[in-house]
Amino acid sequence: MRRRLASSVSSAITGTALFTGVALASTVGAASPDRDRPVIDNPYQEIPSGPEVLDLSPEAVAERRARAPEPTPIPFGELDKHILDREPEVRPEDLAGRPGLPEGWVQVGDEVFPEAVAQGAQVRTRELPDRYRTGGGDEPLTALVDDICAFPDEVPAGVYTGKFKPGGEYPRRGTIYLNYVGGVLQNGNGENSAENFSTLAISGHQYPVFGGGEERAIAIAQAVQADFDDWAIRTVYLERPHKTIPYVMAMVGGSYKDTVSGPAGGVAPSADCEDVGMRNVCFSFTNLQAVTTQANIVGQEVGHTYGLGHTYGSDRIMAYGYDTGGTKDMIFGSDCVDILTAADQGGACGGVNKCHCGDGELQNDKATMSAIYAPPGPDIVDPTISITTPADGDIFESGADIGVGVDVWDDFGGYGWKLMLYQDGELLGEKYDYSRVREFDLFGLPDGTYEVVAEIEDQADHIVQDRITIQVGIPVEESGGETDGGGTDGTDGTDASSGSDSGTDSDSDTAGTGPGVDDEEGCSCRGGDAPAETPWLAGLSLLVLAGRRRSRA
């Protein structure tokens, strides 16, 4: 028999509405069939509006170099210097002047989502324009649904379509980063764990260091990893993942006063059905509680970022309101149980729930995550990346804007990529393709020779590069006449310097030498492809520039 949310939770909803300043109704009029509920697009899904832009004018490059470096967090090994003797106290003066949630967002318990979702709307994934997606093609949209859903006929449109942004394909591998060392977060630019953007952050506020010490932090990480051992999801804490790959970041420590949320043991952005965003930030306001309790809270907040809601069940990580002072080690459920909803309100990820349970108000935790994330096991396949345009050796007119396109692939979703530009071995600028558009626009380049480097990384620390050389303006050597089309060393243009350099550092990231290797992100270089054909422009016989080089981890 269907169970509904008790009055005590309804009171919690009302109290949250007062905190956020949003008039959140506890009902939406008379009960209506699930099919009549409104539908909204996933609030974490970004539809690209054009290429990623990188300004490489001398002024922009100089401005980037002059910026103050980002604050260096304390080393993980210094956590014991910040051990608390009691949980942080929240005083009324600590909340004075503190901003509330973004307009149109509300908090229910430890979940924060758009007001429309709180009032019963369900979430779908918006259809992507062809140029921004992979998968699907002309295949019927039921293909993926039939493969992964126990009740495919119940799945509404816009759920499990099989048409993804690159990097978001199923099955995926993933990373949970437990941030014990704090940092300065920002609000107002959506969710991006790599850049410290969070819907729940107080902009410019120094989020505190975890107060439980190093030994407890390690034990929590081990317990969290055990909770996610059924999937190819790793838990890391010693070093932050590279910005290139998507990961969920859990801030561990502090209290709710260090965010824009109301009182809770933890808080997370919710309603990211099918984990479309992939770079969410959640919070666990825990320091001195039992290890199992803290792991349960972290697991629940991460689960919310994956699209899981609250359920009933005294043994469930996703259960609402369990005793945060208890020590029971909770689990993700493997059967369909009732989700916790206010009267006449549907579950935010009701379409996903229908896939696995045939009912939008039942949730199967493990089935939901297993639809997206691969089972555990080694990843032995490198990702691939290639620069599709321009061609190696292309020459552009002075002042031209240069479009760069890349083709990316891996056997698992969860990969990411970036573009870097070098001159004489010096990095002039880089751009992470957070919107996963695979297109870049370079402008402002003075005349000269440049190396364009595209780099891809997967969740197993495999890093691969593709690189080309381009020329802006006519080369000086050509001003007095044509060249013979050979290389600068009198050869056929092959880059004889393409060698084989590889290595591994302490973080299991690859290492080597050359542009794109010794920067902060790291990579490896090896091997050389045959040079591209000599390009021709305006009837001129152009100089063959450096040969194309590919590098793999």
Q: Which CATH class is domain 384-552?
A: mainly beta
- Collect all residues with Cβ–Cβ distance below 8 Å to 308 and sequence separation of at least 6: 318, 349, 363, 365, 368, 369
- Specify the pLDDT at position 528: 35
pLDDT in tens, the chain (553 residues): 333 333 223 222 222 222 222 222 222 333 334 556 788 999 999 998 899 999 999 999 999 999 988 888 999 999 999 999 999 999 998 899 899 999 999 998 899 989 998 888 889 999 888 889 988 767 777 888 999 999 999 999 999 999 999 999 999 999 999 999 999 999 988 999 999 999 999 999 999 999 999 999 999 999 999 999 999 999 999 999 999 999 999 999 999 999 999 999 999 999 999 999 999 999 999 999 999 999 999 999 999 999 999 998 889 999 987 665 567 899 999 999 999 876 555 678 999 999 999 999 999 999 999 999 999 999 999 999 999 999 999 999 999 999 999 999 999 999 999 999 999 999 999 999 999 999 999 999 999 999 999 999 999 999 999 999 999 997 655 544 443 433 333 334 333 333 333 333 333 333 333 454 444 443 333 333 333 333 333 333 333 333 333 333 3
Beta strands 384-389; 402-409: pairing state: antiparallel
Count of C-beta atoms within a 10 Å radius of residue 66? 7
CB 74 within 8 A of CB 209: yes
The H-or-E segment that residue 551 falls in is strand 549-552
* Lookup: tokens for 330: 């909770």
- Specify the pLDDT at position 495: 39
- Cis omega before residue 99 (within 30°)? no
| Cα 430 from chain centroid (whole Å) | 18
Phi and psi torsions of 93, nearest 5°: -65, -20
* Lookup: tokens for 453: 């480097």
- Cis omega before residue 390 (within 30°)? yes
> Which part of the chain is CATH 2.60.40.10?
384-552
Report the largest interatomic distance among the alpha carbons of the chain, rounded to a whole angstrom: 88
Strand partners, 167: none
Q: Which of 393, 401, 504 is nearest to 452 (CA)?
A: 393
The H-or-E segment that residue 225 falls in is helix 214-227
- Specify the pLDDT at position 60: 94
Q: What are the angstrom distances between the C-alpha of 50 and each of 131, 159, 194, 361?
A: 10, 25, 21, 38
Give burial (CB, 10 Å; 0-12/13-18/19+) of 159: buried
* Torsion (CA) 391, 397, 402, 406 in degrees, nearest 10: 0
- For 418-468, the DSSP string reads EEEEEETTEEEEEEE-TT---EEEEE-PPSEEEEEEEEEE-TT--EEEEEE
Show the CA angle centred on residue 224, arms to residues 251 and 222, nearest 5°: 110
Q: Residue written as tokens 């953007």? A: 197
For CA atoms 419, 424, 425, 429, the dihedral sign is negative
Q: What are the angstrom distances between the C-alpha of 17 and each of 46, 311, 344, 370?
A: 27, 21, 18, 34
Strand partners, 108: 111
CB 120 within 8 A of CB 106: no
Q: What are the angstrom distances between the C-alpha of 128 and each of 162, 453, 551, 553?
A: 11, 27, 31, 32
pTM for this prediction: 0.82
For CA atoms 81, 85, 86, 89, the dihedral sign is negative
Angstrom distance (rounded) from CA 283 to CA 329? 19
- Specify the pLDDT at position 511: 35
Q: Which of 392, 416, 410, 402 is nearest to 51 (CA)?
A: 402
- Specify the pLDDT at position 38: 85
